[in-house]
Chains A and B, each alone.
Chain A
Amino acid sequence: MTDSFVQLSLTPILIGVLASCACALPGNFLVLRRQSLMGDAISHVAFPGIVAAFLLTGTLAAWPMLIGAAGAAIVAVGLIELIRRLGNIDPGAAMGVVFTTMFAAGVLLLEQTGARNVHLDVEHALYGNLESLIWLKGTSWAALTDPEALAALPPQLGRLALVLLAVAAFTAAFWKELLIGTFDPTFAASVGARPGLVSAGLVVTVAVAAVAAFDAVGSIIVIAMFICPAASARMMTDRMGPQIGWSLVFAALAAVMGFVLAAYGPLWLGGRHSLSAAGMIAAVSGAILAGAALCGPRRKGTRAAA
Chain B
Amino acid sequence: MNAPVLMAEAGRRLGADHPESPLAIAGLTVAYGGKPVVVSVDLVTPPGAMLAVIGPNGAGKSTLLKAALGIVPRVSGEVTAFGQPLREARRRIAYVPQRASVDWEFPATVLDVVMMGLYREIGLLRFAGKRHRERAAECLRRVGMQDFADRQIGQLSGGQQQRVFLARALAQGAGLYVMDEPFAGVDAATERAIVEVLKDLNRAGRTILCVHHDLSTVKDYFTHVLIMNVRRIADGPVAAAFTPENLQAAYGGRLAPAQIGGIAAE
Contact = CB atoms under 8 A, between A and B. Distances in A.
A88 B35 CA distance: 10
B90 A192 contact: yes
A146 interface: no
A173 interface: yes
Interface residues of A, number: 28
Interface in A185-240: 186-187, 189-193, 234, 237-240
Majority-rule SS of A interface residues: helix
Contacts of A63: none
Contacts of A186: 66, 71, 95, 97, 101
Contact of A32 (B33, B106, B120, B155): B106
Contacts of B152: 238-239, 298, 303, 306
Contacts of B106: 32, 182-183
B172 A239 contact: no
B175 to A, nearest CB: 14
Given A184-B101, A186-B66, A240-B112, A191 B120 contact: yes
Majority-rule SS of B interface residues: mixed
B193 to A, nearest CB: 21
Contacts, number: 84
Interface in B68-120: 69-71, 73, 87, 90, 93, 95-97, 101-103, 105-109, 112-113, 116, 119-120
Nearest to B178: A190
B155 A303 contact: yes
A306 B116 contact: no
B116 A179 contact: yes
A238 B113 CA distance: 13
B32 interface: yes
A184 B115 CA distance: 13
Given A238-B107, A240-B107, A306-B155, A183 B33 contact: no
A306 B101 CA distance: 24
Contacts of B32: 88
Interface in A36-82: none
Nearest to A300: B105
A189 B178 CA distance: 14
A141 interface: no
B109 A184 contact: no
B154 interface: yes
A306 B155 CA distance: 8
Nearest to B168: A187
Given A32-B106, A191-B120, A183 B71 contact: no
Q: Which 9 A-B pairs have the closest CB atoms?
A: A88-B33, A190-B95, A238-B152, A189-B71, A186-B97, A184-B102, A192-B90, A183-B106, A191-B119
